[in-house]
Amino acid sequence: MRFARLAVEAHGRTLDVAFHPNLTVITGVGSTTRGSLINELLSGLSTHRSGTHLEVVTDAGRTLVVFRPSDSAHRVIDTSTGADVSDEFTTPDGSIDLLASFGMDAGLARRWSRIGPNDLVASTQSHELIARLGRIDQHQLWSDAQRVQIARRALAEHTDIEEVEDASLTERIEHNYHAHDSALEQADRTRLFALVVGTAGLLAAAVTVSTSTTAAIALAAVAAAATIVAFVFRARVSYFARQLEAALDQSGSESYLGYQLDRIDGYISSEHQRRHRAAVQADVDEALARWTHTAGDVSVDWALEHRPAIEAAAGLGSSAGTPYDGDQSIVPRHARDEAPELIETLITRISKSRRLGADGESFPLLLDEPFGAFDPAVRPALLETLLGQSGSPQVILLTNSDDIVSWARLEVLTGALSLVGPGEGTSSRGRAPDASRNDRPSTDSELGNRSR
C-alpha cells in the first residue's frame, strides 16, 4: 500500500499533500508538526475522527479514497469503478478501518512504519549485539539459555504450589479463642458472685418482708440483677464459642488444639519448602551466572526472541546481524563500505515494511529526522540506500536538514522523488471543503481524481 494524497481539514483551513509513489521528502515543518502529520497518515487509515481524507493505492493496484466528512457518514470509494466499497472496511462498531482489513491495528502500524530520531541508533545497537552473539559457540549459547529456562520454570512451579497462611483467618481464630476464654472466666466469676448475692438478697428479703416491704423488694431486685448479669456473661461465652467454631470450620480444623497442631505441621512443611525453594533459586542463579559468562550482559529472553537472527548471523558470519533478503546490488558499493551497520539496519526496517500487512501487503515507511544522530558524512550513503530501496515500500522522509533538502532538490530533477514544503509544492486553502466549489472535491471520486 502507498499514500497518494492526504487532505486534512483543521481550523477552517485544508492542507493538501500529494505523495510520490517511491520517495517523498517533506521539509519546512517543526518536530510537533512532523509528529502530527505522521499521526494523520497512520490514524487516517483507521481513526473515527472526521476531517482526514486519504487516497491510497494497494499493492494490487487498487485505488481507494477514504473520505471522512464531518457532516455525513465516512466512506471508502474505489476510484476505478466509482463504487462505494465501505462495507469491505467497516468494523463491527461501524467505523471505517483499512488497517484491520490488512490484519493490522494503529499500534502495530505506528511501531513498524515509523522511524524516529533515535530508532536507527537503537536498531544498530541491536544488530551489533546480534552479531556478537552470533560469534559465540551456538551450542554452548543455547544450552545455557535452555538451562536458565528450565531453572526458571522449576522456580515458578514451586512458587505456584506454595501455600500461604491466611493471616486474617489466623487472627480471627486467635481473637475468638482468647475472647472466649476471657468471657468464660468472667462468666464463672459473675456466676459465683450472682449466686452469693442472689442467695443473700433472697434471704434478706424473706427476713425483712415482714418489717419493710420496700427493703424486701429492693433486695429481691438486687438478686435478680445479679442473675441477669450472670446470664449476659454466659451469652457472651456462647457467642465467642460460635465465632470460634465458624473460624475453625473455615480452616478445616475440628478444634483449636487441632488447628495449632496443623499450624506446627505447616511450619515444618513450610520450612522444608523454603529450603527447597532456596535450592531451586540457587539453580537459577547458577544458570544465570553461566549464561552471563557465555553471553555477557544480555537478557536471556531478548536472546531467545532474536534467536533466528543470531543463528543467521552465526551461519553467515555477518557482522551486522540479520541478513538482508533483498537485492544487495541496488545498494551503492560506497554506501555498504562507508556505513555497513547503518545500511543493514535501514534495509532491515525497509524489508519489514515491504511485507508488514496480511498476505504480504507493504506499508509506507515514515521517517522523522532519522539521521540526525549520525555523522553528516554518512548521510549520503544512507540517502542513496533509501532512494534505491524506496517504491516497495513507499518512503516518506520528514526533515529540516539543509543537506538532505539540497540532495532532494537534485533528485527531484530525475523524477526519483518529490520534495514537499513551503515553496516546494504543498498547498493550503483558507476554507474547508465546499461541495459547491470547483477548487475542492465534492465527491469521493473527485477527491481521488484531484491528485492524479
Q: How far apart are CA 163 and CA 13, in angstroms?
A: 66
DSSP β-bridge partners for residue 64? 56, 78
Beta carbons within 8 Å of 405's beta carbon, 6+ residues apart: 25, 27, 399, 419, 421
Cell representation of residue 179: 475472647
Contacts 24+ apart (CB under 8 A), 436-443: 440/14, 441/7, 443/77
Low-confidence ranges of the chain (pLDDT < 50): 160-165, 316-338, 427-428, 430-452
Residue 66: DSSP 8-state = E
Predicted confidence (pLDDT) per residue in 280-317, tens digit: 888 888 999 999 999 988 888 888 877 877 886 776 44
- Asked if the bond preceding 393 is cis, omega within 30° of 0, the reply is yes
DSSP β-bridge partners for residue 155? none
Please state the pTM of the whole predicted model. Answer: 0.54
Q: How far apart are CA 46 and CA 208, in angstroms?
A: 100
CA dihedral 44, 48, 51, 56 (to 10 degrees): 30
Q: How far apart are CA 330 and CA 97, in angstroms?
A: 35
Q: Report the candidate in 247, 231, 250 with the shortest Cα–Cα distance to residue 177.
A: 247
Residue type, 17: V
pLDDT, residue 164, reads 44
pLDDT, residue 409, reads 93
pLDDT, residue 442, reads 36
In order of 33, 122, 277, 355, the CA distances from 386 in angstroms are: 23, 18, 54, 17
Residue 386: DSSP 8-state = H
